[in-house]
A and B are shown apart, each in its own frame.
Chain A
Amino acid sequence: MQIAYYPGCTMKASARQHEDAALAVLGALGVELREMDEWNCCGVVHSLTSDNLIRHMAPVRVFARLREQGADEVATLCDMCFNTLGRANLLAQRHPEQIAAISATSGDDLSYDGGADVLHLLQVLRDRVGFAKIRARVRRPLRGLSVYPYYGCKLLRPAEVGIDDPETPAVLRDLMLALGATVVEGSLQTQCCGAYHVVNRDEVVTQRVSATTEQARAGGAEAIVLSCPLCHYNFDALQPQSGAQMPIFYYTQLMGIAFGLDPDQLGLEEQQIALLPLLERHNLVHAPTPGD
């Protein structure tokens, strides 16, 4: 299986471990992500101002380029890119006149009719690969490892672009169950992490991260598993320093562990809160033994 791939800037800078792990895991599943030949930043935040069209130029250009490169669907790992691209796609489908206005501002060099799709990698795994195939690829089940799936906002809201039920999502739970992990759930799984308040009101983020990790811990979880690089940053960098800190995994890293891939491919040492001690405690990072 081959799918066009839009990485987004974060995957090339602060979330490289997520991309490294994803590419390794997908290789093991026979899925090839083909990075777009040329791409630009997605625009980061979807503008809610109806007439501020220049803010939609970046995501529309991504789709226009995708089409020029001969593809009509593109996968991305980043929740933020996924959300911004998905909402721009809705704009293109519903308001072609706005796309025409955007193109006119850009010297008529943009052409896009809203006919392409953006897929989050979790959709590819759930709907194209299938959790049964993922379960079959597991070489070292995450037996005994108890994780709390955290969804945040961008994967689920607004519902018209979300990949799962915005109130009771299941995709990360089902993926973790396929890997053999124990799943702890709670009411704060879909609460916003505080997002860009980290820039100038980091107490907002600290309070939310702290409440979520406490709920996870109270339910017996030893780690958080998530998909969004911004949530990852906030959970990894702004967890209260006092007391035990909860390791934060990208789901791709746990897939790699469960698949028995070389831990060096999974960027396990690239976060502030160490991941290895927990994996070692569960005997998950040594070479797989025969018959495992």
Chain B
Amino acid sequence: MTMTEQAPMISMELMGKHYSVPSGLTIMAAIEYAGYKLVRGAGCRGGFCGACPTLYRRDDSHRIFTALACQTLVEDGMCLVQMPFVPLMTKPYELQTITPQPNTLLQHFPEIAGCVACNTCTRSCPQGLHVMDYIQAALRGDVERAAMLSFDCISCGICSSRCPADIKHYAVGLLARRIYGKFGTPLAPDLSARVAELVAGHYQGALDELVAMSPAELRARYEQRSFEAVADGGETHSATKSYNSPVDPVDFQDEIEV
């Protein structure tokens, strides 16, 4: 696009004031175009940190829509507000002292029993997660499914801001993943062997040698590095392939429906 081919301007309402901004901007870029300096509610700008939840309406619908400001383009007639963050209070827990039971998640988050299966959380999730289903899994003690279905959660909190039962979905998913990580995930066999070698001081000499090197020597060594062959010639250990679950946490239905 040359300087003479300006993007058409659209009108929108940012936090209660009307602005005219170029089409094709993300919500976040439009906010900055309008002159705001974002000191909260902006982070990675790549859709991963969950810091920029946005609530908006369109002039052709009565509904509230939700999005991440860094991942969503502005639309003509949009009326939006940024949520700097969604407040969260949870009872502290010590993972080392938890003995997982079917009701562990329910005991930590009793409000999940108030889920009416309205699916508002799922419809609001910018990650396209099946949020209501992982809350339902948590409710019946299926920690593994709750962990798998919430795997791609970025804790933006939009689900929790929309829930009629005031559930703290992202905190429930986090505890499910922590419990599953500690008690359910298979251990990588090579890792425990390597930790044992480290504890036994097996690599102390090599480490001392590295510490004594100059930066130039270290760089040369780094560039010459090679990867270890796998002992039996098979594939390297993959935690996701070893999950005892029909759900692939990486690829499970996380396409965002537009």
Indicate whether A105 reaches chain B with its CB closer than 8 angstroms: yes
Contact present for A13 and B136 (CB under 8 Å): no
The answer to whether B152 has its CB under 8 Å from any CB of chain A is: no
Q: Which of A52-60, A121-129, A237-245 contacts B (4 or more CB under 8 A)?
A: A52-60
Q: Taking the complex as formed, is A40 at the interface, i.e. its CB lies under 8 A from any CB of chain B?
A: yes
| CB-nearest residue of chain B to A62 | B117
Contact across chains for B142 and A58 when beta carbons are under 8 A apart: no
CB–CB A57/B133 < 8 A? no
Residues in B62-90 with C-beta less than 8 Å from chain A = 63
A contacts with B: majority SS: loop
A14 to B140 Cα, complex, angstroms: 9
Q: Which residues of A contact B142 (CB under 8 A)?
A: 12
**Interface assignment of B12: CB less than 8 Å from any CB of chain A:** no
Return the 3 tightest CB-CB contacts between A and B, nearest first. A58-B117, A9-B140, A13-B102
The docked-state distance in angstroms from the alpha carbon of A55 to that of B165 is 12
Total residues of chain B contacting the partner, CB 8 A: 19
What's the Cα separation between A43 and B165 when bound, in Å? 13
Contact A40 B117 (CB under 8 A): yes
Across the interface, which residues of A come within 8 angstroms of B119, CB to CB?
61, 106-107, 109
**In the complex, which of the residues A43, A54, A58, A109 contacts B164, with contact meaning CB atoms closer than 8 Å?**
A54
The 8 Å CB contact of B140, one of A12, A43, A54, A55, is: A12
Complex: A43 Cα to B117 Cα, angstroms: 8
B21 interface contact, C-beta 8 A: no
Q: What are 24 A-B contacts defined by CB distance under 8 Å?
A: A9-B139, A9-B140, A12-B140, A13-B102, A13-B103, A13-B140, A13-B141, A14-B103, A16-B102, A38-B130, A40-B115, A40-B132, A41-B140, A43-B116, A54-B116, A55-B116, A57-B116, A57-B117, A57-B118, A61-B117, A61-B119, A106-B119, A106-B120, A107-B120
Contacts A13-B141, A107-B119 aside, 7 further interface pairs with beta carbons under 8 A come to A12-B102, A14-B102, A14-B103, A41-B115, A41-B140, A43-B117, A54-B164
CB distance from B67 to the nearest CB of A (A): 15
Contact check, A38 vs B164: say whether CB atoms are below 8 A apart.
no
Q: Which parts of B114-147 form the interface with A (CB within 8 Å)?
A: 115-120, 123, 130, 132-133, 136, 139-142
Residues of B within 8 A of A61 (CB): 117, 119
Q: Mark B168-201, 1 if CB is under 8 A from A, else 0.
A: 0000000000000000000000000000000000
Name the residue of chain B whose CB is nearest to the CB of A38: B133
Which residue of B has the minimal Cβ distance to A54? Answer: B116
Interface contacts (Cβ under 8 Å), in number, total 53
A285 to B62 Cα, complex, angstroms: 64
A40 B136 Cβ-Cβ under 8 A: yes
Provide the bound-state CA to CA distance between A269 and B142, in Å.
22
CB pair A109 B139 closer than 8 Å: no
Separation in Å of the A133 CB from the closest CB of chain B?
32
Residue of B nearest to A102 (CB): B118
A106-B139 CB under 8 A given contacts A38-B133, A40-B132, A40-B133: no
Known: A12-B142, A41-B136. A105 touches B102 (CB 8 A): no
CA distance A12 to B140 in the complex (A): 6
| A131 sits at the interface (CB 8 A) | no
Q: Nearest CB to that of A42 among chain B residues?
A: B117
Give Cα A105–Cα B63 distance, bound, in whole angstroms: 10
Complex: A282 Cα to B118 Cα, angstroms:
50
Asked whether A233 is an interface residue with its Cβ less than 8 Å from the other chain, the reply is: no
**B123 A107 Cβ-Cβ under 8 A:** yes
Contacts of A7 in B (CB 8 A): 140
Q: Kindly identify, within residues 2 to 37 of chain A, every residue whose CB is under 8 Å from any CB belonging to chain B.
A: 7, 9, 12-14, 16
Across the interface, B118 reaches (CB within 8 A) one of A9, A12, A14, A106, namely A106
Instruction: For residue B135, give the distance in angstroms from its CB to the closest CB of chain A.
Output: 9
Separation in Å of the A30 CB from the closest CB of chain B? Answer: 25
Docked Cα-Cα span, A40 to B46, in Å, equals 33
Task: Please determine whether A58 and B140 come into contact, CB atoms closer than 8 angstroms.
Answer: no
Q: In the complex, what distance in Å separates the CA atom of A107 from the CA atom of B140?
A: 25
Which residues of chain B have C-beta atoms less than 8 A from A109's C-beta?
119, 123
Contact between chains at B117 and A12 (CB < 8 Å): no
* B103 and A54 within 8 A (CB): no
Report Cα–Cα, A264/B25, bound state, in Å: 63
Among B103, B117, B118, the most chain A Cβ lie within 10 Å of the Cβ of B117
Which residues of A167-208 have CB atoms within 8 Å of chain B's CB atoms?
A: none
User: How far apart are B143's CB and chain A's nearest CB, in angstroms?
Assistant: 11
B170 CB to nearest A CB, Å? 19
Rounded to whole Å, the gap between the CB of A199 and the closest CB of chain B is 12
Of residues 201 to 260 in A, which have CB atoms within 8 Å of B's CB atoms?
A: none
Residues of chain A with a CB closer than 8 A to B141's CB: 9, 12-13
Q: A63 to B105, alpha carbons, bound, how many Å?
A: 26
Report the minimal beta-carbon distance from A106 to chain B, rounded to whole angstroms.
5
A16 to B141, CA, bound (A): 11
Q: Do the beta carbons of B116 and A58 come within 8 Å of each other?
A: yes
List A contacts of B133 (CB < 8 A): 38, 40
